[in-house]
């Protein structure tokens, strides 16, 4: 398997770039945010629980998210690999992911971190909010709360992955195809990307 984490703050372009990457490298997309949102739509128990956090721009508790990821992976064991989008978001989630993947006989090959500065992100998210219908894109307050969560809980993962030597930082500002090109270059420069 070949596994990528696409990393970055809210609005960095993780979802946009994931759809391009999964096509090119034939990977299965796991967007934890998308899974939560479809559970919210379907009014499942998980959806109801997740909604209470997502609406406030807070993170869903680790054990809930980790169990959801574990379930997702268990049903897709024949995948060529995964692209993790929006997960992990805490060190505990990162450690849990390592354990799950080890059990599956695989590992994270690369973490692609999109770098975009905060004011640009706020502008992007408010724009997206006009069409996404996402409750958490609707006000600057909620968006700022998501950044606070990112800065406090998620950003420490950068050194977690840097220490493992699998972190690649990519400029996330500019043209979508240009950014995609830089991401592909980072993937292709690895020793054994399975293509």
Residue entry with tokens 């997502």: 54
Q: How far is CA 88 from CA 69, 96, 131, 145, in A?
A: 10, 9, 26, 18
The active-site residue, picked from 56, 124, 128, 169, is 128
- Provide the terminal-to-terminal Cα distance of the chain, rounded to the nearest Å: 10
Q: Does 86 participate in binding ligand C5P (rule CB under 6 A)? A: yes
Among 21, 40, 59, 179, binds ligand C5P (CB under 6 A): 59
Among 1, 15, 166, 180, binds Mg ion (CB under 5 A): 15
Q: Does 20 participate in binding Mg ion (rule CB under 5 A)? A: no
Q: Are 134 and 128 in contact (CB under 8 A)?
A: yes
Helices and strands per DSSP (H, E), number in the chain:
9, 5
Q: Is 37 a catalytic residue?
A: no
Q: Is 128 a catalytic residue?
A: yes
Pairing of strands 110-115, 28-31: unpaired
Q: Is 14 a catalytic residue?
A: yes
Stretch that binds ligand C5P, among 81-89, 101-109, 111-119, 170-178 (CB under 6 A): 81-89
State the binding partner of 94 from Mg ion, ligand C5P, none, CB within 5 to 8 A by kind. none
d(CA 170, CA 57): 25
170 forms beta bridges with 114
Among 2, 25, 36, 147, binds ligand C5P (CB under 6 A): 36
Contacts with ligand C5P, residue ranges (CB under 6 A): 10, 32-33, 36, 53-54, 57-60, 65, 86-87, 89, 136, 146
Active site residues: 14, 89, 128, 134, 146
């Amino acid at each position: 398997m070949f596994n990528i984490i696409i990393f970055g703050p809210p609005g960095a372009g993780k979802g946009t770039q994931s759809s391009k990457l999964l096509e090119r490298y034939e990977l299965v997309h796991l967007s934890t945010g998308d899974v939560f949102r479809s559970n919210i739509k379907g009014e499942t128990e998980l959806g109801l629980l997740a909604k209470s956090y997502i609406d406030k721009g807070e993170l869903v508790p680790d054990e809930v998210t980790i169990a959801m990821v574990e379930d997702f992976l268990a049903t897709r064991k024949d995948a060529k690999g995964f692209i993790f989008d929006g997960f992990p978001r805490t060190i505990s989630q990162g450690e849990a992911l390592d354990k799950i993947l080890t059990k599956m006989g695989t590992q994270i090959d690369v973490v692609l971190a999109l770098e975009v500065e905060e004011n640009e992100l706020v502008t992007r998210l408010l724009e997206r909010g006009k069409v996404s219908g996402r409750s958490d894109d609707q006000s600057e307050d909620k968006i700022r709360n998501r950044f606070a969560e990112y800065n406090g809980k998620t950003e420490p993962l950068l050194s977690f992955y840097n220490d493992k030597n699998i972190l690649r930082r990519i400029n996330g500002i500019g043209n979508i195809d240009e950014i995609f090109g830089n991401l592909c270059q980072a993937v292709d420069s690895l020793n054994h990307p399975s293509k």
